[in-house]
Amino acid sequence: MLNYLNSDPEILEVAKLEIGRLQNNLELIASENFVSLAVLSATGSVLTNKYAEGYPGKRYYGGCEYVDMAEELARERAKKIFKAEYANVQPHSGSQANMGVFMALLNPGDTILGLSLDHGGHLTHGSPVNFSGQIYRAVGYPLNKETQTLDYNIIEDLAVKEKPKLIIAGASAYSREWDYKKFREIADRVGAFLVCDMSHPAGLIAKGLLNSPLDYCDVVTSTTHKTLRGPRGGMILIGKDKENPLGIKTLKGDRLKLMSEIFDSMIMPGIQGGPLMHVIMAKAVAFGEVLDDSFDAYAKQVIKNAKQLSNKLSEYEFKIISGGTDNHLMLLDLSNKNISGKKAEKALEIAGITVNKNMIPFDTKSPFVTSGIRIGTPAVTTRGMKENEMDVIAGLINKAVENNENEDILNSVKKDVNELCSKFPLYKELL
């Protein structure tokens, strides 16, 4: 496949180096995964050539009959996976999906309530450096200081006090289950829209291993490249069984019109132009893989691996925020290890283990330093690693963190990492 890059030796070298990096390192960034060769082929397909502003059957350009088929397949498969009534698969990213939803439902200056960034929330859920915190009045809900978990009393009190027009559930660094019914009750009490950004656990929700936000939320957004293991991108979904998901009285009963006119038109022409049809086709391929029974075993193993890794790291006296995990990730509080997240990330990188520094709830360090690291199992599980490998990985993490200033030991950990990785080949067909 890389042969086609022979015409550009400099770029060919970059591609080979990246494949080598993926093969030889342990990818533990919770938001990353390895797509199948089928998803990769679709992403690199001729559909990259096509302009197709609009939606299937209603495009502004000719020649869209085949890209229409790809987008229809992606929409239908997404709906089937999540038992949704509506899907828009055009957002280029999760941020674009969130922006489309916010702009469809809110006016500038309206109040939004989302999990604080430093407690595991996402940039687009109201951070002051992001559109969501600049266009809207953003209020953050914290985790409970003792349990380090969501505290529905705190969220309700804040909602009553701040009267948000929109409440957002979902996180990028939270390892526990969400009670969407409780969020719905709070949203209903204050008359707010309820949106969930399920980007991180979407692949686990797809297989019924975690609660589905579609049962209770007005709108759900997601990326397609994390636990869903698809190409980089976003989508918007609306679940079934709610007569009036947006609570807009004038549109009651006219759901399809509401969906297409409000959400579709906010994504295009509202905030995006031409859709990335090659990526949309790759989304269809990935959704087909999620629908296959084999994805059940994958999703279950992601959770089993996360629990095993978290238990084993606890044995090495790593403090796991909230005491453990229900999903694919965990957040480590390194304060008892006398090392910052930044320094741990660097030491682990030298040792061939890729993680990201991450703020922990009530962190006293800046986002550039942090007291924690975030670790996830989706990518190593795709490689076929199981509980035994998680035990080995915990030991390697411990050794690297404990010896973070000893280059010889870090290099010896790297050797062990390379050896482990060599037993789980990745993308060898590409070379």
Query: Which residues are near ligand DSN by CB under 6 A?
Result: 31, 94, 122, 172
Catalytic pick from 32, 51, 72, 152? 51
Helices (H), ranges, 54-179? 65-82, 94-105, 131-134, 152-162
Catalytic pick from 32, 53, 72, 215? 53
Give the separation between CA 282 and CA 276, rounded to whole angstroms.
10
Query: Nearer to ligand DSN by C-beta: 173 or 186?
Result: 173
Query: Nearer to ligand DSN by C-beta: 164 or 234?
Result: 234
Catalytic pick from 80, 163, 232, 365? 232
Helix, strand and coil percent figures for the chain, each rounded to 5? 50, 15, 35
> What's the min distance (Å) between Cβ of 372 and ligand DSN?
14
Looking at residue 122, the DSSP 8-state letter turns out to be -
The number of CA neighbours under 13 Å toward the Cβ of 267 is: 28
Length of the chain: 431
> What's the min distance (Å) between Cβ of 174 and ligand DSN?
10
Can you spell out the DSSP letters for 28-40? --TT-----HHHH
Q: Is 427 a catalytic residue?
A: no
> What's the min distance (Å) between Cβ of 313 and ligand DSN?
19
> What's the min distance (Å) between Cβ of 172 and ligand DSN?
3
Give the separation between CA 314 and CA 418, rounded to whole angstroms.
24
Identify the helix (H) or strand (E) that includes residue 380. helix 378-382
| Sheet containing 319-320, strands listed edge to edge, beginning at the edge strand earlier in sequence | 319-320, 329-333, 372-376, 356-358
Give the separation between CA 70 and CA 284, rounded to whole angstroms.
7
Catalytic pick from 223, 227, 354, 381? 223
Give the separation between CA 332 and CA 338, rounded to whole angstroms.
13
In this structure, the number of other CB atoms found within 10 A of the CB of residue 19 comes to 16
Catalytic pick from 79, 176, 184, 226? 226
> What's the min distance (Å) between Cβ of 330 and ligand DSN?
13
Query: Nearer to ligand DSN by C-beta: 227 or 398?
Result: 227
> What's the min distance (Å) between Cβ of 87 and ligand DSN?
20
Q: Tokens for 89, please give them.
A: 């698969």
Are the CB atoms for 213 and 222 separated by under 8 Å?
Answer: no
> What's the min distance (Å) between Cβ of 177 and ligand DSN?
18
Query: Nearer to ligand DSN by C-beta: 31 or 148?
Result: 31
Q: Is 51 a catalytic residue?
A: yes
The pairing of beta strand 166-169 with beta strand 26-27: unpaired
Q: Is 307 a catalytic residue?
A: no
| Beta bridge mates, 88 | 236
Give the separation between CA 256 and CA 311, rounded to whole angstroms.
47
Query: Nearer to ligand DSN by C-beta: 175 or 398?
Result: 175
The pairing of beta strand 234-239 with beta strand 84-88: antiparallel
Give the separation between CA 330 and CA 314, rounded to whole angstroms.
11
Query: Nearer to ligand DSN by C-beta: 221 or 305?
Result: 221
Catalytic pick from 71, 110, 197, 218? 197
Q: Is 197 a catalytic residue?
A: yes
Query: Nearer to ligand DSN by C-beta: 86 or 174?
Result: 174
Active site residues: 51, 53, 197, 223, 226, 232
